[in-house]
C-alpha cells in the first residue's frame, strides 16, 4: 500500500535529520506517532513498529515528510511529494521484534516508545496483565536495543538510542505500580545500555539516553486528530 502525502506544515525543526533513518517502537501510539511526525518533518525517513496495523496505518498517514531511498523490506509505505518514504511494520512477540530490527541495514536513531498503561491496584492486576505491561514496556525495550546494536553501529558515530521512560519510574503513583516498575527498569538499565555497544565496539560514539515523560491527558492507546 502506498499513500501520497502533502508537506503542509509550519513546524520548524531545531535540527535537520535529512538522510537519517529513525526507527520507533510503539510508533502507533500517541507518544510514538508524535515523535515520528516531528522526526519526519525534520527530514528523517521513519519506520514505525507496532502491534495494531489499523493504528499504524493512521500514524503513517499523519507523517509529513520522509527521506532516503525506498526500502526493500515489506510493509506499507507513505510517499510525500518530494519522493521521500516512510513505512510501518507489524510486530508480534519479542523474537519477531528482534528479527525485524536486526534485518535493517542501517539505523541512525532508535526510539523505544512502546508502552502499556496500568490503572488498577496491584492486588487487582492479573498475572497476564503484569506480564503484558512488563513485556511491552521493559522486555521489548531491552530486546530492541540489543537487536539494533549492529544497524546503529553502521551509522556511528552519529547514531543514538532514546528510551522513553516516565516520571512514574522515579516517583510512582497510585494504581501504577507495575507500570512504574517497568519504567524504573528502563531508567535503571540506562548505564548498561550506554556501555553495551562500547563493550564490543570501543570508541564507537554510539549514544544512549532516556527521557522521563510527564503525564499526558489521553490514553496511550488513543490518537487524537
Residue 153 in domain: yes
Closest of 5, 25, 21 to residue 70, by C-alpha:
21
Same domain, 22 and 61: yes
- pLDDT at residue 205, rounded to an integer: 63
Global pTM reads: 0.74
Residue 74 lies in a domain: yes
- pLDDT for position 24: 94
73 has a pLDDT exceeding 60:
no
Q: Is 184 domain-assigned?
A: yes
Looking at the fold, whether 136 and 198 belong to one and the same domain comes out as: yes
What integer is the mean pLDDT of 145-168? 80
* 144 has pLDDT over 80: yes
Name the range with the highest mean pLDDT among 1-10, 142-151, 216-225. 142-151
- Contacts (Cβ under 8 Å, ≥6 apart) of 60: 3, 48, 76, 78, 86, 87, 88
132 vs 93: CA distance, rounded Å = 11
Is 102 inside a domain boundary? no
87: closest CA among 53, 46, 41, 58? Answer: 46
Domain range for 191 = 116-216
Position 40 in a domain? yes
Confidence of residue 186 (pLDDT cuts 50, 70, 90): confident
Q: Are residues 136 and 203 located together in one domain of the fold? A: yes
User: Which DSSP string do the residues of 94-147 spell out, in sequence order?
Assistant: HHHHHHHHHT-S--SEEEE-------S-GGGS-HHHHHHHHIIIIIHHHHHHHH
Question: What is the pLDDT at residue 48?
Answer: 92
**Does residue 127 sit in the same domain as residue 171?**
yes
- What lies within 8 Å, CB to CB, of 67 at 6+ separation is 17, 18, 19, 20, 43, 44, 45, 84
d(CA 1, CA 139): 31
Q: What is the pLDDT of residues 107-122, one digit of tens each?
A: 999 999 888 777 778 7
- Same structural domain, 83 and 124: no
User: Residue 142 is part of a domain; what is its CATH number?
Assistant: 3.40.50.720
Mean pLDDT of 83-99: 76
Compute the mean pLDDT over every residue in the chain, rounded to the nearest whole number: 72
160/204 same-domain check? yes
Quickly count: other Cβ atoms within 10 Å of residue 175's Cβ.
15
Amino acid at each position: 500500500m502506498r499513500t501520497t502525502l502533502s508537506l503542509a506544515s509550519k513546524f520548524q525543526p531545531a535540527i535537520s535529520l535529512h538522510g537519517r533513518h529513525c526507527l520507533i517502537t510503539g510508533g502507533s501510539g500517541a507518544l510514538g506517532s508524535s515523535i515520528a511526525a516531528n522526526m519526519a518533518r525534520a527530514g528523517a525517513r521513519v519506520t514505525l513498529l507496532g502491534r495494531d496495523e489499523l493504528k499504524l496505518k493512521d500514524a503513517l498517514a499523519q507523517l509529513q515528510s520522509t527521506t532516503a531511498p525506498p526500502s526493500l523490506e515489506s510493509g506499507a509505505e507513505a510517499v510525500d511529494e518530494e519522493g521521500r518514504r516512510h513505512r510501518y511494520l507489524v510486530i508480534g512477540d519479542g523474537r519477531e521484534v528482534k528479527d525485524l530490527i536486526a534485518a535493517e541495514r542501517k539505523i541512525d536513531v532508535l526510539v523505544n516508545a512502546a508502552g502499556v498503561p496500568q490503572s488498577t491496584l496491584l492486588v487487582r492486576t492479573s498475572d497476564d496483565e503484569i506480564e503484558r505491561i512488563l513485556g511491552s514496556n521493559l522486555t521489548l525495550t531491552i530486546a530492541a536495543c540489543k537487536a539494533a546494536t549492529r544497524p546503529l553501529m553502521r551509522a556511528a558515530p552519529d547514531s543514538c538510542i532514546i528510551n522513553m521512560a516516565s516520571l512514574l519510574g522515579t516517583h510512582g503513583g497510585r494504581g501504577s505500580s507495575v507500570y512504574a516498575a517497568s519504567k524504573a527498569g528502563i531508567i535503571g538499565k540506562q548505564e548498561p545500555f550506554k556501555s553495551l555497544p562500547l563493550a564490543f565496539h570501543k570508541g564507537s560514539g554510539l549514544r544512549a539516553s532516556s527521557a522521563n515523560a510527564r503525564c499526558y491527558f489521553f490514553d496511550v492507546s488513543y490518537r487524537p486528530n
